[in-house]
Structures are given as C-alpha cells and as structure tokens.
Chain A
Amino acid sequence: MSAAPQVLIVEDEDSILLSLEFLLRSAGCGVAAARDGDTALALLAQSVPDLVLLDVMLPGIDGFELCRRIRADTRLQGTRVVMLTARGRESDLQKGIEAGADAYFTKPFSTRELVTRVRTLLSEPRSDSPAQGSARGST
C-alpha cells in the first residue's frame, strides 16, 4: 500500500453517493464513482481499484452480476468488493457471498462500521475464499 488506496463507488442514489464519497475521501482513499453497472465496468477496464463499494439495486447490470464479473476478471483478483443493499433479505446476503463479495452491508448502515471495515479489508491481502461469517454488516 504505497499510494492512497483507490475505491470505486457504484451507487445510483445521489445523496448516498455523496455521503460515501465524503466518508472514503476522509478516510484517505482515492475515489471514483459510477451511477450504473455499465459505467462501472468501463471504469474497471481502465484501472484496477483496491476496493469496489457496490450497491445491489442498480439501473442496467445489477450489483450481483457486476460482482460476479469482477471475480471472474483475473486482473481484479486483488480487488475487494463490499456490497450495499437496501433489501435486508437473507437470500440477498447469500447471493452476495456467492457472487464473491468480501463484505455485505444493509442500508442504512453505520458509517463508522463501514469505514472501519473498508480499512481492514484494504490492510489485509485478499484471500480467495472470503470468511463467510465476516460478511454480515451491521444494521
């Protein structure tokens, strides 16, 4: 971690995006933002972020699919994925883990927890099999 860690935020709600940008910049991260899946894929093709903060409900390609594509991309093996969802269903959590997310937060989330978690993830080298139990976010 030589330079500032780069984070890509994929979120279609303006106000939430604004808050996430502020939080991560405050935590010392470089931030890029996308409002939908296609834009996110375009950005990912250009650069490799250290972490993607990914909303599930997106116009176009949804968060699960985007997560699967990131995991399928060999260039992005080191990229952590944290998923955010407004639908607090068990099945969504399960789907997120299956799609390969490293952490999963249900909206509304505690900003402190989110930032702490992002920091932790960025400080550890990513293992291929993420710890299942750690994926649950706070409520």
Chain B
Amino acid sequence: MLSGALIVVLSFAYVGLLFAIAYWGDKRADAGRSLIANPYIYTLSLAVYCTSWTFYGSVGRAATSGIGFLPIYLGPTLMAALWWYVLLKMVRISKEHRITSIADFIASRYGKSHLLGGLVTVIAVLGIVPYIALQLKAISASFSTILQYPNSLVTDAPESLPFLQDNTFYIAMLLAAFTILFGTRHLDASERHEGLVAAIAFESIVKLVAFIAVGLFVTFGMFNGFDDLFGKAAKIPELNALLVQGGAAGNYTTWASLTVLSMLAIILLPRQFQVAVVENVDERHLNKAIWLFPLYLFAINIFVLPIAIGGMMHFPAGSVDADTFVLTLPLSEQKTWLALLAFVGGLSAATGMVIVETIALSTMVCNDLVMPILLRWKFLRLTERRDLSRLLIAIRRSAIVVVLALGYVYFYLAGEAYALVSIGLISFTAVAQFAPAMLGGLFWKGGTRLGALTGLSVGFLIWLYSLLLPSFAKSGWLPITFLTEGMLGIDLLKPQQLFGLTGLDDISHCLFWSMLANIGLYVAVSLWRRPTAAEHSQANLFVDVLRHVAAGSGPKFWRGSATVADLQTLLGRFIGPRRAAESIAAYARSQGMTGSEQLSANAVLVHYVESQIAGAIGSASARDMVASVVDEEPLALDEVMAIIDEASQALAYSRQLEQKSLELEAASKELREANQRLQELDRLKDDFISTVTHELRTPLTSIRAFSEILSDNPGLESAQRAKFLGIITRESERLTRLINQVLDLAKIESGAAEWHPGTVDMRELIDDATGALSQIYRSRGITLEVQAPAGLPTVNADRDRIMQVVLNLLSNAANFCDKDDSAVTISASCNETALRVDVTDNGIGISEADQAVVFEKFRQVSDPAAGKPKGSGLGLAISREIIQHHRGRLWVSSKRGLGSTFSFTLPLSPAPA
C-alpha cells in the first residue's frame, strides 16, 4: 500500500518535469538551436499514438481476445510504408498553405469551405472527447489501483468520490494548464510548438521503458521466460484458446477492419496530424520515421500478451481488471518501484495524448468553428478590430479547457460502460470518416466540396447512430430498447444490425455502413456537378503538390488589387502589429528588397499574407479576411481551367522546346565555328594564291622583259646581251625553285609527300651540308664553324629531308650575314631524349615580332636597311613541316643586331615513317 501523498507528489513532479522539458525546448527553439529538429525526436513524437489504451488497454484486450490487440499497431506499420506518398503530400501541402489542422486541411482542399471545416471540427470534437475521457479514466483507474491495492476491485468507481477530491480532476486541470502554457504561448503562422514536442518525445521514451520493464519483470521475473509462460498457459484451456487465431481472437473480418481503421487513424487523428504534419520541422525526417515508428510500435507490443497471460494466471479469474495488470502484477509481487515506474509510464501515455489532442482540437475549434462565426457576426465588428491576436489566444485557451472539461464530464458520467479499447475504437471510427474527403482530396482532382460535405455528414450520422448512441444506450443514457428493438421499434433500424446486417462486430458494422455511404456519396455527388473555380484551383494545388515548385504556385489563381499597408494592417490584427511588420519586412528581404516600402501588393504578397493569417485563424477565414482588403476579381471556372491547361501544356512544350533549343544552339554553334574555319581557310587560300602568284609573276616579269628587250634590240653589245641572258637564266631557276618548293610544301601539308626513313648520322650529314655550301660561304667571306662531337647517336629519319632543312638553315644564315667578320656556327648535341642542331649567325638578327611569323609561308623578314630578302619565303615553312613530321621542334632565338640561332631537335626514339 503506497501513500497517497507520494503518488500525488510523484504525479505532479512528473508533470513538473514535462513543464521543465517543454520550457527548455522552447528556449532552445527561440535561441535557434532546435531540440527537435531530428528524425528521432520526430519519430518519438509520432509515438503519441500509443496512449493509455496501449499501455493499459492492450493488455485488457489481449486478456479477452489474444492477439486481437495487434491490428491497431499493424495498421500503422502498413500505413507507414505509404507515408512516402500520403504523409509527404500532406506535409508539403500544409507547409505551403500554412495549414494547421486536419479541419483546415479538408476545408482548404475543397475551396476553403467554412462549412466543411466546421463539420470536420464538430466530428473531431465529438469523436475525440470519449478518447480523452479514456485517458482520464486510465489515469483515474491507475490512481485508485496503486493507492488501494490489494483492495482494488475489478473496476473502480470514481463516482464515489466528489470530483473535488478526485485526483483525476486535478490532473485534468494541470494538463489544461500545461497545454495552455506551451500550446498557446503565442500565435504563429506555422503553429509549431517545439517545447511541447520535446516533452511529448520524452513521454514516449518513458512509456516505452516503463512498459518493457514490466514486461521483462513478468516474463523473466515471475516466469522463466516465454517458454515457461506460454507452456503454463497452454495447460489452461481458456488461456490456450487465446493463443490460437480464429479462436477467441475474433474473426478475420474484425481483424481486417481494425487494421484498416488504425491505418486511417494514424494519419487522420487530430493529434497525429498535429505531430506528424504541423509540428514537422523538415520533411526529410519522414524518411527515418517510416521504419523507426513501426519499430517503436513493435517494441511496445512484444510484452502485451505475456503480461496479459501472466496476469490471468497470477490472479484468480475475475478478481482483477485485466486493464490494470501492468500495475497490479508488480504490486502483487511487492515491486513498489516497478509499480511506480509503470504508473508514471501510464501517466505519460495518457498525458501525452491529452496534451496534443487538446491542442489540435483547440486549433480546429478556434480556426474552423468559432472564428468563422464570430467574423460573420457583424455586430461584433470584429473585422474592424485592430488587434485580434489576444482574442484568438483567448479562444484557443477556452477551447482547451472546454475540450478537457467535456472529456472529464464524459469520463465522469459514462466512462464505466466500456473497456478502454472499445472507447478508443469509437473515436477511431469517427475520424475514419475523414478518409474519403482527405485521401480522395489528395489523389483525385474531381472531388468537390458538396461531395465531401455529403459523404462526411452521412458517414458521421451513421457513426452517431450505430456506434455513439449505442454507447450511450449501454451507459443508460438512452433506453436500451433503442438497441434491442431499433429506433421507433423498426427492426431494420436496429443501430447495430442496420438493415438487418448481422454477423459483424459493432465496429466493423459501423465502419462498413458509414464508409459505404461516405465514399459512395463523396464520389457520386462529386461527379454530379462540375467543380467550381475555387475547388478546381485548390484541387490542382493539392493533388499536384509534389510536382510544382514550392514558391509561386499558390497565387497563380488570383487576380485583384490591394495596398501593402492594408495587408500589413490586416496581418497585424491577427498576429500583432509588431510581428506583422517583422513578417512583411522578412518577406521583403526574401524577395531581395531592402525593406517593406519597396514591396508592391502583387498576388504573391497577398498569398503570403493570406497564408500567414491562415496560420492564425484557418484558411477559409483567412481568405475572407484578405478579401475584405483586397479588391479581388473572382476567376471564372473556364479561366482557371485555361490557366491550368496553359500551364500544363506550357510545361510539356517547354521541356520539348528546351531540348530542341539546346540542340539547335549546339548545332548553330558548330555551324558558326565551321563557317569561321571555312572563312579562315578561304582567306588563307586566297592569301596563299595571291602570294604565290606574286612570287611567280616577279621572275616572270624579268624573264619576259629581258626576252623582249633582247628580241627588240638585236644590236645590243655582247657584254650586255650576256648579262641580260644571265638574268633570264637566274630568274628561270628562281621560278623553277619556287614552283618546286610550292609543290613540295603542298605535298608535305597534304600528307602526300614520300618519306624515306633511314638511319641518319648527324655528324656525317652536317659535314656533307657544309661541304655543299662551302663554296658559297667562301665566296661571301663567311667563316663556317662546325661543332659536331664524335659519338653522337644516330636518329631514324629521312636523310634527304633533314639535309634539306640543314641546307636551308645554313643558306638563310649566310643570307642574314652582311658584316665583314661574319661567322656561322653549326653545332650538334644531344641529351637522353633528343638530338639537337643549332645554326647560329652573327648577322642582323630578327625582331621579336618577326620571330613569331618567320616560319609562316612567304613571311620573309623584310628590313628596309637590308634590302629585299632573298629566297622564296617557303624554306622555313617547309623545314618546320619536315621537323614536325619527325616529331621534333624547330624554333628561333634572336636579338636584333646580334644574330640569330635557329635550332631543331629530333627525338631519339624511332620516329614514324
């Protein structure tokens, strides 16, 4: 028997710890160092799915149906695999449109409909209140169990306590305080609560650790492992039946419908939407959560059946409520601290759910139920109020208190008729009604507001009639004849055997009828009429969210005019003037402007402001608010259709166009380059021909002139005659040489030249060359020095061609020498890779500019002072071609007035023939 004071202190201390964590988390978020910006915290916050239903209720369920508790966790595991498509879309859409609740989401999808948002809110509140009551019931039960054990009864009777002495009441109040403090600290468009999420993640750790601790204790402390536990259970027939599927575990229909139900619940429950979508920091966190979250569910479920079986074997049948086994088993073994840990674990499971659920519901109630109504009541003149942010916070806080109070009242009055799990399933079935509108809206553009409204209403009514009202009847609020004889005594209207349908459990029965009506009407009514312009534009934004780029998608469907000041004032009324100014300035900066004064009120700004306001009061109201300051021209459906068609066609075309234009660009660039090359070649060819022509005409001119002179002047004296004939001969030789060289060069350049490679001894070659030219050198008085060391390696080359080069260089050197003490040196040397020959003269030298062009065809170094250079101007060009053919290099180094050195190398490695 534990002291009541200890339990109370422990509970309050635990909630106090939550306060501390939440406070810390908020501080860190304010400091920009987010505590929750990682996939692990995200996954743990998703585990708010596991409530006291999981912590206490699963064991209770397992005690009556074996593995029948499992579909509730298998469903979310399966859905997690689809998160990649479903949840990602929801997160992306919500971030783009600043959607803060599931009501807002559905309302926004169907043309920002107030009616739809309100309906979703009402269903959510009615559906979830029993669920909150379930948590309060669990907290209350755990209190009395741990306080009164071993005197506890099968079920406790909290009614026996006036509520002021009921700890549950105080816990509820404490939770309200916590939620108000950390859930509505300030209004923010993103509606995220970092501290709160941190606290929730912490709770998820606590409940997992506590549950596994109890499981380990039962399995390995009270029994000797799974083998022992299940072995003993097998000997008891009623327990053995639990371990066989199809026995007490219920039929496969129930199994399947619970799987489907929990699949839907994991994305549609307001608290799951809150943590998974609204509180999501980064959509990449989704990745890891896809497998980590199922792993969490897996871990927390391993010991459910062992605890249930263990409890049933430990306690005499019916003496202890199976829902309390997690607490009573440790207590019965005098493991006080383990019991306290289990108690705290249960508390964490319950409080986590209550906190997040009430925040989610309060946001919905405020944004989608109260504000639209208040804004509509003209006499309140709300639309003219300067600052609505305080009013909004007040509404949210009231909503939190009211929701918690409703839960408490439900718990206080009706909590006894059902086990924990059954109450939870009623809530699951309620939120499952959102599925057609939600999933249909995500993937089907054809769904309309009226379709969603009709399906949702009728599905909800069927839920009300076949599940909620029967629960009231069972609690004694309604005459039980409602159940047994049907409404007004009509047999076909028996709530749980509607139209005579039998053979299904009440959840499957309700799920079948409500979904049949809901989906059927959603589809049928949607198809009945064409969607309006607003519906169509929203449908496109939602369904195609993964396709378009984040920015600029929204305001495409908007046309109108407004002023920046009006928009800022409007925004200020909802989030406070200071924050509004900051927000607009931040927007201006994001657009690359220095301040808000540079902004113009275009569609993008209007969309931005609308989404900011949407965070505070919901998308539907935000649209109305913005419309009040913006002179908006409504778009007709065909205009929207035209925009969409245009956009999608443009997209397809632009891809093709982009492709084509890239190809064209590449092709035209090639063409341009080819053309340039051609022009260049053409110019070169023209130049060459012109130059060749010039070079040919010059000797021809002399030849013709002197021939005619000789012919016209037969009486010329013989000396002059001989002189003229000599000129004719020389000029003819020059012509021949030129023609040969042009042909030679053309052959080498075109690759048609014949090469005769062989072994060349450079020393011998130089000797031959100098021998051939010695006459000329001697006649001009030029000294020729040869420096060719013995033992030079031979090279593989065309000897005649190399000789041609050496002769060319030597005769050039002679031509450049004009001084009296002219000297030319030819030297050969070699290193390990190449043989090198240098021809140095001490002549006039070549200027830097001329050095660059001296190897070009017909580019002779012309020096007025030196007179007309001799030679055709092709010699060096040919020499360079020859040396390059041998993979060598020919170059010149020279200083004006100091002579030049022409050098070439020939590689020692075998040159190609």
Hey, which chain B residues are within 8 Å of A26, CB to CB?
Answer: 713
Hey, which chain A residues are within 8 Å of B699, CB to CB?
Answer: 15
User: Is B704 an interface residue, CB under 8 A from the partner?
Assistant: yes
Q: Which residues 76-105 of A have a CB within 8 angstroms of B?
A: 86-89
Output the nearest chain B residue to A36 by Cβ-Cβ distance: B864
Asked whether A111 and B690 contact (CB < 8 A) given A13-B698, A60-B864, the answer is no
Hey, which chain A residues are within 8 Å of B703, CB to CB?
Answer: 108
Instruction: Determine if B864 and A22 form an interchain contact, defined as CB atoms under 8 angstroms apart.
Output: no
Q: Which residues 840-890 of B have a CB within 8 angstroms of A?
A: 862-864, 867-868
Asked whether A111 and B697 contact (CB < 8 A) given A22-B709, A59-B862, the answer is no
CA distance A26 to B863 in the complex (A): 33
CA distance A38 to B730 in the complex (A): 29
Asked whether A111 and B709 contact (CB < 8 A) given A87-B690, A87-B694, the answer is yes
Asked whether A108 and B697 contact (CB < 8 A) given A15-B731, A59-B868, the answer is yes
User: Is B502 an interface residue, CB under 8 A from the partner?
Assistant: no
CA distance A88 to B686 in the complex (A): 12
Asked whether A16 and B705 contact (CB < 8 A) given A87-B690, A108-B697, A108-B700, the answer is yes
User: Is A18 an interface residue, CB under 8 A from the partner?
Assistant: yes
User: Is A20 an interface residue, CB under 8 A from the partner?
Assistant: yes
**Distance of A25 from chain B, by nearest CB (Å):** 11
User: Is B708 an interface residue, CB under 8 A from the partner?
Assistant: yes
Instruction: Determine if A107 and B864 form an interchain contact, defined as CB atoms under 8 angstroms apart.
Output: no
Output the nearest chain A residue to B690 by Cβ-Cβ distance: A87
Instruction: Determine if A19 and B702 form an interchain contact, defined as CB atoms under 8 angstroms apart.
Output: yes
Hey, which chain B residues are within 8 Å of A57, CB to CB?
Answer: 694
Hey, which chain A residues are within 8 Å of B731, CB to CB?
Answer: 15
A 34-71 to B, binary, CB cutoff 8 A, 1 in contact else 0? 01101000000000000000000101100000000000
CA distance A137 to B695 in the complex (A): 19
Hey, which chain B residues are within 8 Å of A59, CB to CB?
Answer: 862-864, 868
Instruction: Determine if A107 and B700 form an interchain contact, defined as CB atoms under 8 angstroms apart.
Output: yes
Hey, which chain B residues are within 8 Å of A12, CB to CB?
Answer: 868
A 113-125 to B, binary, CB cutoff 8 A, 1 in contact else 0? 0000000000000
Instruction: Determine if B727 and A15 form an interchain contact, defined as CB atoms under 8 angstroms apart.
Output: yes
Output the nearest chain A residue to B699 by Cβ-Cβ distance: A15
Output the nearest chain A residue to B702 by Cβ-Cβ distance: A15
Instruction: Determine if A111 and B868 form an interchain contact, defined as CB atoms under 8 angstroms apart.
Output: no
**Distance of A104 from chain B, by nearest CB (Å):** 14
Instruction: Determine if A112 and B712 form an interchain contact, defined as CB atoms under 8 angstroms apart.
Output: yes
Of the residues B698, B712, B864, contact of A111 by C-beta under 8 Å: B712
Output the nearest chain B residue to A114 by Cβ-Cβ distance: B705
Hey, which chain A residues are within 8 Å of B704, CB to CB?
Answer: 108-111
**Distance of B737 from chain A, by nearest CB (Å):** 15
User: Is A23 an interface residue, CB under 8 A from the partner?
Assistant: yes
CA distance A55 to B698 in the complex (A): 11
Asked whether A13 and B702 contact (CB < 8 A) given A35-B867, A57-B694, A87-B694, the answer is yes
Asked whether A110 and B708 contact (CB < 8 A) given A86-B694, A87-B690, the answer is yes
Give the interface size bracket for B toward A: 20 to 34
User: Is B701 an interface residue, CB under 8 A from the partner?
Assistant: yes
B 289-306 to A, binary, CB cutoff 8 A, 1 in contact else 0? 000000000000000000
Hey, which chain B residues are within 8 Å of A13, CB to CB?
Answer: 698, 701-702, 868
Of the residues A18, A20, A36, A86, contact of B698 by C-beta under 8 Å: A86
Asked whether A86 and B868 contact (CB < 8 A) given A15-B727, A19-B706, the answer is no
CA distance A109 to B697 in the complex (A): 10
Q: Which residues 1-36 of A have a CB within 8 angstroms of B?
A: 12-16, 18-20, 22-23, 26, 35-36
User: Is B693 an interface residue, CB under 8 A from the partner?
Assistant: yes
CA distance A35 to B863 in the complex (A): 12
Output the nearest chain A residue to B728 by Cβ-Cβ distance: A15
Q: Which of A15, A36, A57, A88 has the most C-beta atoms of chain B within 10 angstroms of its own C-beta? A: A15
CA distance A23 to B694 in the complex (A): 22
Q: Which of A38, A106, A109 has the most C-beta atoms of chain B within 10 angstroms of its own C-beta? A: A109
**Distance of B847 from chain A, by nearest CB (Å):** 15
Asked whether A108 and B705 contact (CB < 8 A) given A26-B713, A86-B698, the answer is yes
Output the nearest chain B residue to A106 by Cβ-Cβ distance: B697
CA distance A41 to B830 in the complex (A): 52
**Distance of A57 from chain B, by nearest CB (Å):** 7
**Distance of B421 from chain A, by nearest CB (Å):** 104
Q: Which residues 190-248 of B have a CB within 8 angstroms of A?
A: none
CA distance A104 to B863 in the complex (A): 27
Hey, which chain B residues are within 8 Å of A23, CB to CB?
Answer: 705, 709
CA distance A59 to B862 in the complex (A): 7
CA distance A96 to B137 in the complex (A): 116
Hey, which chain A residues are within 8 Å of B727, CB to CB?
Answer: 15, 18-19
Instruction: Determine if B712 and A86 form an interchain contact, defined as CB atoms under 8 angstroms apart.
Output: no
Instruction: Determine if B693 and A111 form an interchain contact, defined as CB atoms under 8 angstroms apart.
Output: no
Instruction: Determine if B690 and A38 form an interchain contact, defined as CB atoms under 8 angstroms apart.
Output: no
CA distance A19 to B25 in the complex (A): 108
**Distance of B873 from chain A, by nearest CB (Å):** 13
Instruction: Determine if A107 and B698 form an interchain contact, defined as CB atoms under 8 angstroms apart.
Output: yes
CA distance A106 to B700 in the complex (A): 11
B 687-724 to A, binary, CB cutoff 8 A, 1 in contact else 0? 00010011101111111111011001100000000000
Instruction: Determine if B693 and A19 form an interchain contact, defined as CB atoms under 8 angstroms apart.
Output: no
Of the residues A35, A60, A86, A87, contact of B701 by C-beta under 8 Å: A86
Hey, which chain A residues are within 8 Å of B694, CB to CB?
Answer: 57, 86-87
CA distance A22 to B697 in the complex (A): 20
**Distance of B724 from chain A, by nearest CB (Å):** 8
Instruction: Determine if A38 and B709 form an interchain contact, defined as CB atoms under 8 angstroms apart.
Output: no
Asked whether A111 and B713 contact (CB < 8 A) given A15-B702, A36-B864, A89-B690, the answer is no
CA distance A15 to B706 in the complex (A): 9
Output the nearest chain B residue to A15 by Cβ-Cβ distance: B702
Hey, which chain B residues are within 8 Å of A19, CB to CB?
Answer: 701-702, 705-706, 709, 727
Output the nearest chain B residue to A14 by Cβ-Cβ distance: B868
Output the nearest chain B residue to A61 by Cβ-Cβ distance: B864
Hey, which chain A residues are within 8 Å of B705, CB to CB?
Answer: 16, 19-20, 23, 108-109, 111
**Distance of A105 from chain B, by nearest CB (Å):** 10
Output the nearest chain A residue to B867 by Cβ-Cβ distance: A35
Instruction: Determine if B709 and A16 form an interchain contact, defined as CB atoms under 8 angstroms apart.
Output: no
Hey, which chain B residues are within 8 Å of A111, CB to CB?
Answer: 704-705, 708-709, 712
CA distance A13 to B706 in the complex (A): 14
CA distance A21 to B712 in the complex (A): 15
CA distance A84 to B186 in the complex (A): 98
CA distance A86 to B698 in the complex (A): 6
Hey, which chain A residues are within 8 Å of B868, CB to CB?
Answer: 12-14, 35, 59
A-B contact pairs, 15 of them (CB 8 A): A13-B702, A13-B868, A19-B705, A19-B709, A20-B705, A23-B705, A23-B709, A35-B868, A36-B864, A86-B698, A107-B701, A109-B705, A110-B704, A111-B709, A111-B712
| Additional A-B contacts beyond A15-B702, A87-B697 (7; CB < 8 A) | A13-B868, A15-B706, A16-B698, A19-B702, A59-B863, A86-B694, A109-B701
Q: Which residues of A contact B (CB under 8 A)?
A: 12-16, 18-20, 22-23, 26, 35-36, 38, 57, 59-60, 86-89, 106-112
